[in-house]
Amino acid sequence: MVEQHADVILDNAKNCDVSFLVVGDPFGATTHTDLLLRARQAEIPYNVIHNASIMNAVGCCGLQLYSFGETVSIVFWTDDWKPDSFYDKILANTTRGLHTHCLLDIKVKEQSIENLMRGKKIYEPPRYMSAAQAARQLLEIIQKKRVEGCEDTELAYTEKSVCVGLARVGSDDQRIVATTLQKMTTTDLGPPLHSLVIAGHLHPLEVEMLTLFTDDLTLFENVVLL
């Protein structure tokens, strides 16, 4: 609605108070910034109430927020659409020793191509990408890079790279697991929402924190320490 029918929100706001509630911080999405700019242009007064966000709550896993690089988004692949442009951003982060926070796709109120073409407002069941599925797609990307001639030393990450899966952060049943990217492909973190972090160079305090979330202490034998 925000992307396609923002005018409905704004038209009502000219005559009465309208509240727009989001998951995370309001400015975590460009569409929300666009909504604010439209309100400003229409001379509609607004008030922003900031909220907790996974962008900073991810620090609960023990990785220091100052050591994160650019955040990336991983979308659901299809048989004929497998975008991987975010790989270069991960590579830039890991080259600098920085962690990469991967935000995982959410498909809510999506229509199939067939229903879109027929103009039927029939929606697909909601889908939420898991950390395991994201890890599988990430490993498929490096397999492709290897076929293209990349050596493992040139890759942004490998199967042995340390990663952290987070689920339902902030809830009573939140779960955090530190493991290798390969093992993450079969790790069940339970219900959504999930996010995934690919670790860069680690500070000893970060390693100490991550040991709280793993049963494999050999995980950190080959990491680069700060």
What are the pLDDT digits (tens) for 169-224?
A: 999 999 999 999 999 999 999 999 999 999 999 999 999 999 999 988 888 877 77
What are the pLDDT digits (tens) for 72-98?
A: 999 998 888 899 999 999 999 999 999
Segment 42-65 shows an average pLDDT of: 93
Q: How many CA atoms lie within 13 A of 215 on its CB side?
A: 2
**pTM, full prediction:** 0.86
Phi and psi at 48, nearest 5°, equal -105, 125
Token pair, residue 52, equals 């907790």
Name residue 176's beta-bridge partners: 166
Segment 139-157 shows an average pLDDT of: 93
Number of neighbours of residue 191 by Cβ within 10 angstroms: 12
CATH code for the structural domain at 54-213: 3.30.950.10
Ordered by start, the domain boundaries in the chain are 2-41, 54-213
Alpha helices in the chain (DSSP H): 6-13, 30-41, 54-57, 87-95, 113-118, 131-147, 181-184, 204-210
Token pair, residue 161, equals 């790279």
Confidence check: pLDDT of 36 > 80: yes
Cβ-contact 57, 86 below 8 angstroms: no
Cα–Cα dist 5/32, whole Å? 13
Token pair, residue 215, equals 């049963």
